[in-house]
Amino acid sequence: MSNYALILIIIVYLAFLFFLAYWAEKKHRGKLVNNPYIYVLSLAVYCTAWTYYGSVGIASQSGINFLAIYLGPVIAMPLWIVLMRKIIRISKQHKISSIADFISMRYGNNRPLGALVTFTCLLAIIPYISLQLKAVSETFALVSNSSSYVSSGILDDSTFYIALLIAIFVAFFGTQSTDASLGKRGIMATVALESVLKLVFFLAIGVFVVYFLFDGTTDVYQKASLMENFQQLSSFGGLENGFNWMFTILLSFFAIFLLPRQFHVAVVENQNINHLKKAIWLFPLYLLIFNVFVIFIAWAGNLKLPDTVNHDYYSLLLPLQESNTFLTLLVFIGGFSAVISMIVVSTLALSTMVSNNVIIPYGFIKKLVEGNPEENAKSIKSIRRVAIFILIIIAYFFYVNFSNQLSLFSIGLISFVIIAQLAPSFFLGLFWRRGTAKAAKAGMIVGLLVVIYTLLLPIVSDVVSPGSQITDKGLFGYWWLRPSQLFGVEYLTPESNAFFWSLSFNTLSFVGLSLMAKGNYRERNYAEMFVHNENYENLQEGAFVWKGEAYVADIKRLLNRFLGETRTERALRLFNKKYNISQQEEKADARLINFSEKLLTGSIGSASAKILLASVSKEKPISLVEVLNILEENKETKATNRLLVEKSEELSQMASKLQLANNELLLQDKQKDDFLDTVAHELKTPITSIKAASEILEDDEMPSELRQQFLNNISRDTDRLAKLIHNILDLEKLSSDRTELKIKNGKINDTIKKAISGIERIAEQRRVHVVFEESGYLEGMYDEDRILQVLTNLLSNSLKFAPKEKGIIKVALKEKDKKIAVVVEDNGKGIPEEDHNYIFEKFYQSKNQNTKKPQGSGFGLAICKQIVESHNGNIWADKKVKQGARLVFTIPKTE
């Protein structure tokens, strides 16, 4: 592929990213912003060119070690539910914009500590960025077929321009707001997209290699297993590797928290703490998928490609060898995506640190104090922009001069080892209150010195003076001072060696010094706020301990410079309202100081904010006793608050109970109305019939048989009327508990037989067979007359519905716990399913008031229900019956 075509593709791709970022930035409130998947995908900025190319290189040369880099994060992710939640909460509470801010804030907003953390990060990340540039340049050379990627000058090196374009991208989208703690939606959208692309394209090459170049994974394995070093590539190896392996896992465990770009995407860009729910399982899955094909690409490369090529680029060289230009291009774009997202987020994070933790607090602060808000916003932005360009340019020069002899893997590990120096003060600081700023600084410096000696010195000395003796013989010729085998430990890799010793010395210094001397009151306050952050979440400014003098006017002037008049006015108004402070108040109290500090932190970093506020206020140290008192006070307020909350919850519960009771009454009222309606309707029907018939009977010409029929009708309707009235009265009596039940010990078998004999005659007429399946002899406590009424009612119903001639009615007895169940079953048409719940109701169902109740039920079943329930029994229709109806009721058994 020609040079220019490739450059064109790169430019088109970058333009697309610009467009995407711009679009996402505009769509402020869309789904895009508060989206857990964007959050998870942006975490995948962890996978850089190192993952994309380097893993294959390692897998093809030394075996399993590439995996350890992902196992650390996979182990770390479940812990996020505790750790990351805490970190994010604290960060949002204090408007933290970088890891340097976080650590320096924890140790009392310590300015030198912030600068030291920034320095550590720069030391770790700049070489890392330059290695990413190296990957771009080398892959560019491979794809474009130009034989030499070491160009004659900067100006005709395409990598230089790519680096510049990236710098412009970050400078444009990364500095939209002066408040660095606000999210960068545009950039995160592109990072998420790039994470998708790099994964998909890497899988594409994996599939291509395994299924097109070979005949599946088993085929690759079988062919590769014939190679001589295969045993080493495919298994864990000896015990000595166990330490290297564990240290690498630990390294990557720390890195997922501490790398500036990881802290940025995981903490600063977190829009919603609940996104962690997705991240905890989805991110490990992303990493898992990324790693599935690595070994096969590596083995395939070993089989197909000459040993002289750079193993890192197998995934590019394999399709290239097959002249598959399209796939080559995809792989290149995937790798390019990995590079860009890493550089973009890293420079964004680093530039914020450099400006907020170094440049502003150490140089620019005076100028800022004198400037007006627009100018200040402008200068803060320009500081960050310049920082971004300088960072990328330094990385570029480092790449040109240094990076030739290092692989992606080793420089990545070096960077991790350096970053790991933040671990003791970061992790212990979260849970251990004693840790002090002095100790943190000391630990970090000691750790860094050990890293520089054990890891960087050999590399630098190799470049600067190749013949140096230090690496082989040790400093001053002492064998135990050999950098890569410190204290004579022979079996560790240089990185593991450096990691182990540096972190040991670092932790020891940190813990030891923290125990030797207490921090000042300010440090102790912040320690308390970080370690027990859950206590202070709701207290915010109020929890801050500060004693001193300041005037509101001074603070206001200060805020005006950075936020502008309108924002300042608004913020102060809100503040006064919240704490009920008069607008005329002249003296500022601790809460205002802390509130202002937080407002400023987002723009200029915590260290600078502290300096600025110190300049307008006279701070007086507070004794530990006072601190404790204030904290105690806060706890008391919290307790009172909790009590109030409980009380109000009780009240609202009572209110809802009342509401419920009221609804109940309303419902009953409505049911009463419905009942009366029903009664009226039931009564009117026979009356209508009687009235109509009697009018017709006036007709003299009516034939006599017809006349007789009408007369019969009148008589039947009159009976019906009388029965209805009786039933209504009965029901009313039963439901108002005015009837006294004459409960006695009774033989239910006899009662049933009595009921059956009562209907026998009608049954015979209809030729319906009534059977009593007597299985046992039971005695119960009941009012025999009433139960007889129930039985008669049920039997009459069954009679009505059982088919003539073939009808069968079965009565059965069952014993259930302490109850007797009586079952009346027929083989009629059954009860329609929708009526099951209503047949025992004395009211029409409220939903469909105009459709009639199931035929024939009248009030009979409602009365049965009342009777059975006043015996403490139940009555129901068995829904499981397929043919006919089965009605069951229970009465108490005699003990």
Partner 1 sequence: MKMKKRHQQKLVMIAIILFFLWNVPFVTILDGDFHVFGFPAFYIFIFLSWFVGIAVAYYILKKFYE
Partner 2 sequence: MSRKILIVDDEPNIVMSLEYAFKKKDFEVFIARDGTEALEIAGKELPNIVLLDIMMPKMDGYETLKQIRNNKDLNGTKVIFLSAKSKIADVEKGLKLGADSYVTKPFSVKKVIADIEQMIE
Give yes or no for residue 776 binding partner 1 (CB under 8 A). Answer: no
Q: Which of 128, 245, 562, 782 binds partner 1 (CB under 8 A)?
A: 245
Give yes or no for residue 77 binding partner 1 (CB under 8 A). Answer: yes
SS (H, E, C) 10-56: HHHHHHHHHHHHHHHHHCCCCCCCCCHHHHHHHHHHHCCHHHHHHHH
CA gap 612, 598 in Å, rounded? 12
DSSP 3-state of 540:
helix
Q: Which of residues 829-858 bind partner 2 (CB under 8 A)?
A: 848, 850-852, 855
Q: Are the C-beta atoms of residues 454 and 502 closer than 8 Å to each other?
A: yes
Between 157 and 717, name the residue whose CB sits nearer to partner 2.
717
Partner in contact with 834, chosen from partner 2, partner 1, none, beta carbon below 5 to 8 Å by kind: none
∠ CA 660-665-667, rounded to 5°: 95
DSSP per-residue string spanning 546-607: -EEEEBHHHHHHHHHHHH-HHHHHHHHHHHHHHHT--TT--B--HHHHHHHHHHHHHHH-HH
Q: Are the C-beta atoms of residues 799 and 759 closer than 8 Å to each other?
A: yes
Give yes or no for residue 696 binding partner 2 (CB under 8 A). Answer: yes
Between 209 and 770, name the residue whose CB sits nearer to partner 1.
209
Partner in contact with 696, chosen from partner 1, partner 2, none, beta carbon below 5 to 8 Å by kind: partner 2
Binding characters for partner 1, 874-893, by CB under 8 A (x = yes): --------------------
Q: Are the C-beta atoms of residues 418 and 120 closer than 8 Å to each other?
A: yes
SS (H, E, C) 753-781: HHHHHHHHHHHHHHCCEEEEECCCCCEEE
Q: Are the C-beta atoms of residues 424 and 258 closer than 8 Å to each other?
A: no
Partner in contact with 76, chosen from partner 1, partner 2, none, beta carbon below 5 to 8 Å by kind: partner 1
DSSP 733: H
Q: Which of residues 248-277 bind partner 1 (CB under 8 A)?
A: 249, 273-274, 277
Give yes or no for residue 689 binding partner 2 (CB under 8 A). Answer: yes
Give yes or no for residue 234 binding partner 2 (CB under 8 A). Answer: no
Segment lying near partner 2 (by CB under 8 A), choices 166-174, 372-380, 694-702, 803-811: 694-702
Cβ-count burial 417-444 (b if 16+ within 10 Å, e if not): bbbbbbbbbbebbbeebebbbbbbbbbb
Give yes or no for residue 687 binding partner 2 (CB under 8 A). Answer: yes
Partner in contact with 717, chosen from partner 1, partner 2, none, beta carbon below 5 to 8 Å by kind: partner 2
Give yes or no for residue 76 binding partner 1 (CB under 8 A). Answer: yes
Q: How far is the CB of 296 from partner 1 (least distance, A)?
A: 7
DSSP 3-state of 474:
coil
Partner in contact with 716, chosen from partner 1, partner 2, none, beta carbon below 5 to 8 Å by kind: partner 2
Q: Which of residues 707-726 bind partner 2 (CB under 8 A)?
A: 709-710, 713, 716-717
CA gap 603, 361 in Å, rounded? 12
Between 358 and 679, name the residue whose CB sits nearer to partner 2.
679
- DSSP H or E stretch at residue 76: helix 68-79
Q: How far is the CB of 716 from partner 2 (least distance, A)?
A: 8
Question: Which residues lie closer than 8 Å to 7 by C-beta, 6 or more apart?
Answer: 158
Give yes or no for residue 46 binding partner 1 (CB under 8 A). Answer: no
Partner in contact with 535, chosen from partner 2, partner 1, none, beta carbon below 5 to 8 Å by kind: none
Between 96 and 276, name the residue whose CB sits nearer to partner 1.
276
Q: Which of 14, 17, 56, 67 binds partner 1 (CB under 8 A)?
A: 67
Between 8 and 676, name the residue whose CB sits nearer to partner 2.
676
DSSP 3-state of 214:
coil
Give yes or no for residue 391 binding partner 1 (CB under 8 A). Answer: no
Between 65 and 132, name the residue whose CB sits nearer to partner 1.
65
Q: Are the C-beta atoms of residues 124 and 415 closer than 8 Å to each other?
A: yes
And the tokens for 884? 């006919």
CA gap 695, 716 in Å, rounded? 17
DSSP 207: H
Q: Are the C-beta atoms of residues 257 and 34 closer than 8 Å to each other?
A: no
Give yes or no for residue 870 binding partner 1 (CB under 8 A). Answer: no
Question: Which residues lie closer than 8 Å to 786 by C-beta, 6 or more apart?
Answer: 741, 867, 871
Q: Which of 39, 102, 296, 526 binds partner 1 (CB under 8 A)?
A: 296
Q: Which of 284, 318, 283 is nearest to 298 (CA)?
A: 318
Partner in contact with 249, chosen from partner 1, partner 2, none, beta carbon below 5 to 8 Å by kind: partner 1
Q: Are strands 617-620 and 769-773 parallel, antiparallel or unpaired?
A: unpaired
Between 275 and 384, name the residue whose CB sits nearer to partner 1.
275
Between 177 and 689, name the residue whose CB sits nearer to partner 2.
689
Partner in contact with 217, chosen from partner 2, partner 1, none, beta carbon below 5 to 8 Å by kind: partner 1
Give yes or no for residue 367 binding partner 2 (CB under 8 A). Answer: no
Q: Which of 657, 684, 733, 767 binds partner 2 (CB under 8 A)?
A: 684
∠ CA 880-886-891, rounded to 5°: 110
Partner in contact with 725, chosen from partner 2, partner 1, none, beta carbon below 5 to 8 Å by kind: none
Q: Which of 2, 11, 216, 645 binds partner 1 (CB under 8 A)?
A: 216
Between 12 and 676, name the residue whose CB sits nearer to partner 2.
676
Torsion sign across C-alpha atoms 796, 800, 806, 810: negative
Segment lying near partner 2 (by CB under 8 A), choices 80-88, 275-283, 691-699, 749-757: 691-699
- Rg of the chain (C-alpha set): 43
Q: Which of 57, 174, 284, 335 binds partner 1 (CB under 8 A)?
A: 284
Q: Which of 680, 725, 729, 771 binds partner 2 (CB under 8 A)?
A: 680
Residue with tokens 């991208």: 169
Residue with tokens 């630098």: 460
Segment lying near partner 2 (by CB under 8 A), choices 254-262, 277-285, 412-420, 677-685: 677-685
Which amino acid would we find at residue 77? M
CA gap 298, 309 in Å, rounded? 13
Give residues in contact with partner 1 (CB under 8 A): 64, 67, 71, 74-79, 81-82, 216-222, 234-236, 239, 242, 245-246, 249, 273-274, 277, 280-281, 284-285, 288, 291-292, 295-296
Give residues in contact with partner 2 (CB under 8 A): 677, 680-681, 684-693, 695-696, 699, 702, 706, 709-710, 713, 716-717, 848, 850-852, 855
